Amino acid sequence: MELFGRPAHRSAMESGQAPGTLYIAPDAFDTRIRLWHIDDNEVTHIDEPDIETIEQMRDRPGRFWIDIAGFADDARIRAIGELFDLHPMVLADLVNIDRMTKVNALDQQALIIIQALHLSSEEQRPGLGQMGLLLGDNWLLSFRERPDPLIDPVLTRLERPTSRLRSESVDYLACALLNLAVDASFPVVEALADQVDEAEESVMTGRGQGMLGNIHRQRRALITLGRIFWRQRDLMARLLRDEEFFRRETHIYLRDVYDCTVQLMDMVETTRELAASLVEIHLSISANRTNEVMKTLTIMASIFIPLTFIVGIYGMNFEYMPELAQPWGYFAVLGFMAIVAGVLLLWFRRRGWLGNQS
């Protein structure tokens, strides 16, 4: 999960630049621009429109949505920025990948930046994709870091003639996009929770040694996820609190997205606490096991070391050792050693070291 382990290197931006400068990463995704115009429930879709088309559409009555995915073509992005008369800081917030989640009430518009977590299908690894929304009076611009299929469910719904997306205003559309961005996190969190459950079973059945690295990696991921969802929840709470961003009628849908972020936070927090408990329990189980191993060694050594000493005595080569000459000497010593061993075993039993050692 190192992908989002550390926020983008802001310091990589040359400090001599004025704020509001655009930074297009060399590995930025190719830009794909799509436009939808909705008027009287009629949807017009234009793929890769040029600036003039966008301008025409802007001036037609009705609502429209432009989705800009991938930021490699900064010329076109700048052109769109100029067309909509965006402040340089606003465009920089939308395009620069700072891994921040924020909301900003501009004069006539609302700026929302969210980091969408997803489990990329090909690699089965979580990744972050920034989605910026600029919500105008009757239009919506969405800036997405990568041209992934995140928004496809909305497109599917848009094709249905009865969809509420066609009849509601653009803030309902913005809400639907936020919903997708938040919903995409569930598989990631569930995968992590499954991994912690697995680690739990290993620890409980005493096979937890190799799991420690995994648990640490899971905690690392959970720390990062916790921060992301915390910011998302703050964002949604602010959108709900300040009525300037969304219309009152859309709040019932927005609250649904808010509930999702609360649920994500809860899942992450619960899993984190489980993982922390797991490390403690593992340490205790280790200590118990060391104890058990030590007891075995101590019992074996404490019984046989004295006995070995006794047989060593009668292995000495002194010329005058009266016991050696007795015919009963050997058996007397064997008997004495049996008594010694018995006494020691009794003593260990009384200390509770024998019997149930599990």
For the chain, the first-to-last Cα distance in angstroms comes to 38
Cβ neighbors of 179 (< 8 A, separation 6 or more) are 253, 256, 257, 260
Nearer to a second copy, 33 or 184 (CB): 184
Between CA 71 and CA 59 the distance in angstroms is 25
Query: What is the C-alpha to C-alpha distance for residues 330 and 326, in angstroms, rounded to an integer?
Result: 8
* Paired strand residues for 33: 68
Angle, CA 176 vertex, CA 175 and CA 180 arms, to 5°: 115
DSSP helix/strand/coil, 173? helix
Q: Which of 218-235 are b and which e, b meaning 16 or more Cβ less than 10 Å from the residue's Cβ?
A: bbebbebbbbbbbbbbeb
User: Measured from the CB atom, is 53 or 104 closer to a second copy?
Assistant: 104
Q: Which residues, 6+ apart, have CB-to-CB distance to 78 below 8 Å?
A: 22, 91
CB 240 within 8 A of CB 255: yes
